[in-house]
Amino acid sequence: MTSSRPDGQRSPTLEEVAEWAGVSRSTVSRVINGVSTVDPELRELVQRAIDVTGYVPNLAARSLVTRRTDSVALVVSEPDDRTEQTEPFLNRIFTDPFLGRITAGALEVLRPEGIHLVIMPAESPAHHHVLRYLRQGHVDGVLLISSSDEDPLPQQLCDLGIPAVLSARPGKPLPMSYVDVEQQVGAKLAAEHLLAIGRHHLATISGPLDMPSSQDRLAGFRAALAVHGHAYVPSAAGNFTRASGEQAARDLFAAHPEIDGLFVANDLMAEGALQALRDLGRRVPEEVAVVGFDNSIAALQCRPQLTTIHQPLEEMAAEMARLLLARIGKADPKPRSVIFHPRLVKRESA
């Protein structure tokens, strides 16, 4: 806020610009908002006045009347019951390439529209904090990354009528647009690839089981294997961090040393699994083949480089932004879902 600028003077108002230019407040307002019915000569005069005075519209005043703020929030939400984890929430989300890709994709759409993106982590203790922020009208809408089907936030936003778009199929049916990838298809791709390269003892490391996407990947993997006669597939759940993948792999191989093919529900956990396998002296891919999920930068950084299921996160986030803008534009709340296709990216690990 420029109210505390060093010289003590507040930033100029529309009125002052108008006075400088010798026109009315309305005219200046028109110039600023690009209304076409302004004499070109006057327009230029006003523009000069704006430049000279260093005028910047006061957002509060504007949005008081327009009821728009031209910014949307990217909320990364986490429910109460998963707070007892080894790695703090903020560490987790700011270490996973996921968020960066989502942000990049969303900005791709929002920036040209002149809409700002504010990123808000909402782990349990801050949940109500963030809700209050959203209710106060700081933003026009929210892109919601929710990590559990128990998360109340989608429902709350729905009830409050705050425009929102979800990053995945909601846990419970909700009249809300969302974007997703065909999780089951992705898992099937992984399963069939592992079978195709001759692996018979398959297992999987899943994400947290309260997440629809984790459930889908697990179910998809099992279903695809069932088709090929594999009735039982050992699995262990992680929480999408590297460390949890490492631990899950250790557990899995301790119980089932015969495993020769592993599907891991994201690249970060796969990287951890690779670490565990190295420690266990299992060669990848010769003895154990590993397939990840995401095709994030992490897949390229580990050794061997990860064969993985690509999901187009940037495009998905861009689509989320588009859906949100459409929703903000008109209050017509016909929820839409946009589903993307995964694909296998073959590298060294399988």
**Buried residues in 56-79 as b, exposed as e (16+ CB within 10 A):** eebeeebbeeeeebbbbbbbbbbb
Q: Is 206 exposed, middle or buried (0-12, 13-18, 19+ CB in 10 A)?
A: buried
- Judged by DSSP in three states, 121 sits in strand
CB contact at 8 A, 50 and 17: yes
149 binds, among DNA, its own copies, none (CB under 5 to 8 A by kind): none
Using CB under 8 A, which residues numbered 30 to 59 contact its own copies? 56-59
58 binds DNA (CB under 7 A): yes
Binding residue for its own copies, selected from 75, 194, 328, 350, defined by CB under 8 A: 328
Give the one entry of DNA, its own copies, none that residue 13 binds, where binding means its C-beta sits below a cut-off of 5 to 8 angstroms depending on kind: DNA
- Residue 154, interface with its own copies (CB under 8 A)? no
Separation CA 181–CA 309 (nearest Å): 11
Q: Least distance in Å: CB of 175 to its own copies?
A: 9
Is-contact 190 127, C-beta < 8 A? no
CB of 164 to DNA, least distance (A): 22
Q: How far apart are CA 152 and CA 163, in angstroms?
A: 15
Residue in this structure with the two tokens 């090929």, named with its chain if needed: 228
Total residues interacting with its own copies, rule: CB under 8 A: 70
Using CB under 8 A as the binding rule, whether residue 112 contacts its own copies is answered as no
Is residue 44 at the binding interface for DNA, with CB under 7 A as the rule? no
Minimum CB–partner distance for residue 60 and its own copies (Å): 4
Kindly tell me which residue out of 132, 172, 200, 346 binds its own copies, with binding defined by CB under 8 A.
132
Nearer to its own copies, 86 or 228 (CB): 86
**336: contact with DNA by CB under 7 A:** no
User: 292: Cβ–Cβ under 8 A, 6 or more apart, which residues?
Assistant: 264, 266, 267, 269, 270, 271, 298, 299, 306, 307, 308, 309, 349
* Distance in angstroms (rounded) separating the CA atoms of residues 272 and 329: 44
71 three-state secondary structure: strand
Residue count, binding to DNA (CB under 7 A)? 26
With binding defined as CB under 7 A, does residue 344 bind DNA? no
Name which of residues 66 to 85 contact its own copies (CB under 8 A).
Answer: 67-69, 71
Taking CB under 8 A as the rule, does residue 174 contact its own copies? no
Is 47 one of the binding residues for DNA (CB under 7 A)?
no
Partner whose binding site includes residue 71, from its own copies, DNA, none (CB under 5 to 8 Å by kind): its own copies
Between CA 342 and CA 291 the distance in angstroms is 13
In three-state secondary structure terms, 233 is coil
Asked if 283 touches its own copies (CB under 8 A), the answer is no
**Is position 160 an interface residue for its own copies (rule: CB under 8 A)?**
yes
**Four-CA torsion 57, 74, 270, 181, nearest 10 degrees:** -120
Of 79, 117, 326, give the one whose Cα is nearest residue 208.
79
Q: Is 292 exposed, middle or buried (0-12, 13-18, 19+ CB in 10 A)?
A: buried
58 vs 124 by CB, closer to DNA: 58
Q: Which of 97, 208, 212, 342 binds its own copies (CB under 8 A)?
A: 97
Binding site for DNA (CB under 7 A): 10, 13-15, 22-27, 29-30, 32-33, 37-39, 42, 55, 57-58, 61-62, 64-66
Binding site for its own copies (CB under 8 A): 1-8, 11, 56-61, 63-64, 67-69, 71, 87-88, 90-97, 99-101, 103-104, 107, 111, 116-121, 125-126, 129, 132-133, 135-140, 160-163, 242-243, 275, 278-279, 297, 301, 303, 328, 331, 333
